Amino acid sequence: MEGKRIGILDSGVGGLTVVREVFRQLPKERVVYFGDNARCPYGPRPGDEVRDFTLQMAEYLLQYDLKMLVIACNTATALALDYVKDRLPVPVIGVIGPGSRAAIKATAHGRIGIIGTINTVNSEAYPQHIHKINPSHYVKSLACPTLVPLVEQGGYKKEEALEEVRTALQSLQGENLDTLILGCTHYPLLQPVIHQIMGEQVTLIDSAEETAREISTVLYQLNQLEEAERNDSHLFFTSGDPKDFEEIAVDWLGTSVIVKHHHF
Ligand code: DGL
């Protein structure tokens, strides 16, 4: 009998950065993913809309026999984590706790930057998490609303990405940061460009690695870690164009995937 699945969702392709880490750290697990590409970006949307859309995806994924759900979107984590947790019969985790922990482990001098969507930055979820653990860290947040569309349109590898990202990150120059949290799951696709602009001295934090570790802890505690051999029967759904989604998924995951369309 095939085991239950880990549900992973995002406003679009960003959650694939978490899927890649799950494939790497937990290769025996089966994943079902939903990307709400048709309604992306969530970053500038009103909070109640983000909550409704996130719950809609979560409930859709429940039919695929979930053992847990991962909100692999910082915006939806900031605005909808507790809302979805209260309404789902399985454990639900987000990406902001893991991202904050990873930054605290990495920072050398306690000067941490956060880049994310308008909603994530306005929620102040990252500074709150970080200051709960260490109130003396300096935290500088910056909303970068142009970067999610750049990734969604597949422009993350193109030449113009460098100038676009340089403009978006301009106000971080001179902040003397030693650590920068990629506080949007879309941004790791731009990691080489962000690294080039921020320089060697800034450690970039992608919350995916720490999130996959938390998934493994939750499943271990539930005694639901998969023991059977690796299988590739993952499922991917998008509310947008499956071809566009597939192109980015194959590029990022390095494996062929089947993507189906679902319209809400
Ligand atoms: N990947 C989402 C995040 O982590 C992007 C949000 C958006 O759709 O604007 O915040």
Q: How would you classify the pairing of strands 111-116 and 66-71?
A: unpaired
Q: Quick one: fold of 5-95+209-261?
A: Rossmann fold (3.40.50)
- Note the pLDDT tens digit of each residue in 187-214: 999 999 999 999 999 999 998 999 999 9
Q: Give the whole-angstrom CA distance, residue 67 versus residue 62.
A: 9
Ligand 1 atom 2, closest CA: 73
What is the SS3 assignment for 59? helix
Half-sphere exposure of 238 toward its Cβ, with a 13 Å CA cutoff?
Answer: 22
Beta strands 235-238 and 179-182 are: unpaired
C-alpha 168/C-alpha 115 separation (Å) is: 10
Using a 6 Å cutoff on CB, does residue 18 contact ligand 1? no
Residue 144: active-site member: no
Question: Ligand 1 pocket test: which of 33, 37, 73 has the largest number of ligand atoms within 8 Å of its C-beta?
Answer: 73
Distance from residue 240's CA to the centre of ligand 1 (Å): 15
179: three-class secondary structure by DSSP = strand
Q: 45 CB less than 6 Å from ligand 1?
A: no
Exposure string for 250-260, b = 16+ CB within 10 A, e = fewer: eebbeeebebe
75 lines ligand 1 (CB under 6 A): yes
| Alpha-carbon gap, residue 60 to 54, rounded angstroms | 10
Ligand 1 within 6 A of CB of 100:
no
Q: What is the pLDDT of residues 91-105, one digit of tens each?
A: 999 999 999 999 999
Burial 152-165 (b: 16+ CB within 10 A, else e): beebbeeeebeebb
The distance in angstroms from the start CA to the end CA of the chain is: 31
Tell me: domain 96-207, CATH 3.20.20.70, correct?
no
Interval between CA 24 and ligand 1 midpoint (Å):
22
- Which atom of ligand 1 lies nearest, measured to the CA of 145? 9
Sheet of 259-261, strands arranged across? 92-93, 66-71, 5-10, 30-35, 235-238, 259-261
Domain residue extents for the chain: 5-95+209-261, 96-207
Residue 6, pLDDT score? 97
Residue 203, pLDDT score = 98
pLDDT tens for the chain, residues 1 to 264: 568 999 999 999 999 999 999 999 999 999 999 999 999 999 999 999 999 999 999 999 999 999 999 999 999 999 999 999 999 999 999 999 999 999 999 999 999 999 999 999 999 999 999 999 999 999 999 999 999 999 999 999 888 899 999 999 999 999 999 999 999 999 999 999 999 999 999 999 998 999 999 999 999 999 999 988 766 689 999 999 999 999 999 999 999 999 999 999
Same fold, 5-95+209-261 and 96-207: yes
Q: Is 99 in the pocket of ligand 1 (CB under 6 A)?
A: no
- Catalytically annotated residue among 6, 18, 32, 73: 73
- Sheet of strand 111-116: strand arrangement: 138-143, 111-116, 179-182, 203-206
> Is there an atom of ligand 1 within 6 Å of 42 CB?
yes
What local confidence, expressed as pLDDT, does residue 229 receive?
Answer: 74
The pLDDT assigned to 233 comes to 87
